[in-house]
Amino acid sequence: MVEKLKEVGLKATPQRIAILRELDKKEHPTIDELYNNLKKTHPSISLATIYKNLNMLKDAGLAIEIIPPSANEKSKFDIYTEPHIHIMCKECGKVFDYYVKNAVDECNTILKEITKHNIENINVLGLITCEECRKKKKN
Amino acid sequence: MVEKLKEVGLKATPQRIAILRELDKKEHPTIDELYNNLKKTHPSISLATIYKNLNMLKDAGLAIEIIPPSANEKSKFDIYTEPHIHIMCKECGKVFDYYVKNAVDECNTILKEITKHNIENINVLGLITCEECRKKKKN
DNA sequence: GTCCATGCAAACGATTTGCATGCGT
DNA sequence: ACGCATGCAAATCGTTTGCATGGAC
């Protein structure tokens, strides 16, 4: 994590390293989950620091924000290493990663054909009902 | 618009009708654009009313929210009639609609193959640089 | 030693809420 | 006439900002 930060020209502070480590667990925390988790090891960490750093990490391409479709739901955060697709459970909000390289490209191609536009980037979020939630619903 | 509202069990108030009419112009307004436009014909309309109604219209499936990828940008709103795809200019935020029925299905199919999940719904937003913005950039 | 980062508290903006009044049915 | 909708103001929530102190380089 220290190297990643230096590569993009950011100081390797303990807080930043901790944030990246936490994101690297791939649990897709919301900001306050991140805050609560980090307080365990960094009791003095402040929310403002987390906000500031998440913005910097996003700008630097080391983190990405997963924005839910309903917008009154909270964003979740993920470490960014290579392009991948996110699937979210519409019941509980849990996020699943799919590191399938050409999936993003395929969707992109389809959009290009339809729109005749040069699609530079796509944001895809698939919505499912996860196993757990499906079970709960049955009862 | 009156009928649409009654179909979903909502009272056809002048404010609601006006909101739907405004969305039907397909200009994808933000909440305050909507507010400013509606004030012209409904000077006493309140922001709270717009917020409440947009939420109800979304829940009822008569409107959808287009959430930009950067999340500090404002959401835009659209009337919902049938599934379609949105493309957004990353420079100026302008939104373009594509009513191509099987595009949504195709993306859906790809996601299903990759994830082996039953994708119930997808949220796709394609990002481009629109003509106007491309011209501006050249200068 | 310099400059950027941190952490606190205050400021801010967007959205929601409570409540009295008005209006669609 | 009833019950939901409106509009106002206040409350709330998430996020950002300013600033003094601390820490990475």
Farthest-apart Cα atoms in chain A, separation: 52
Residues B64 and B39 in one domain: yes
**Residue A126 to residue B118: CA distance in whole angstroms:** 9
For the segment A37-66, the average pLDDT, to the nearest whole number, is 96
> With an 8 Å Cβ cutoff, are B117 and A103 in contact?
no
Average pLDDT, chain A: 92
Does A110 have pLDDT greater than 90?
A: no
The first and second tokens of residue B81, run together, are 């009639």
**Last residue within a domain, chosen from B40, B64, B81:** B81
Residues B99 and B68 in one domain: no
Residues B117 and B75 in one domain: no
Helix (H) or strand (E) holding A44: none
B114 chain-A contacts, CB cut-off 8 A: 85, 98, 100, 103
CATH code at A114? 3.30.1490.190
Domains: count for chain A: 2
> How far A92 CA lies from chain B's nearest CA (Å)?
15
Residues B51 and B88 in one domain: no
Residues A47 and A100 in one domain: no
| Backbone φ, ψ for residue A98 (5° rounding) | -130, 110
Residue A137: per-residue pLDDT:
76
Percent of chain B at pLDDT > 70 equals: 100
Using DSSP bridges, classify how beta strands B85-89 and B121-128 pair: parallel, antiparallel or unpaired: parallel
Residue A89: per-residue pLDDT:
93
Could you tell me if A52 and A90 are in contact, meaning their C-beta atoms sit under 8 angstroms apart? no
> With an 8 Å Cβ cutoff, are A124 and B111 in contact?
yes
Phi/psi-derived region of residue B61, left when phi > 0, alpha when psi is between -120 and 50, beta in every other case: left
CA of A11 to C1' of D19 (A): 21
Residue A70: per-residue pLDDT:
80
> With an 8 Å Cβ cutoff, are B110 and A123 in contact?
no
Q: Which residue has the higher pLDDT, A85 or B52?
A: B52
For residue A102, what are the domain limits?
82-139
What's the pTM?
A: 0.89
Residues A102 and A68 in one domain: no
Q: Long-range CB contacts (< 8 A, 24+ apart) of A100-107? A: A100/B114, A103/B110, A103/B111, A103/B114, A106/B110, A107/B107, A107/B110, A107/B111, A107/B124
Residue B21: per-residue pLDDT:
97
Q: Long-range CB contacts (< 8 A, 24+ apart) of B19-25? A: B19/B50, B19/B53, B19/B54, B19/B57, B19/B63, B20/B57, B20/B62, B20/B63, B20/B79, B23/B63, B23/B77, B23/B78, B23/B79, B24/B79
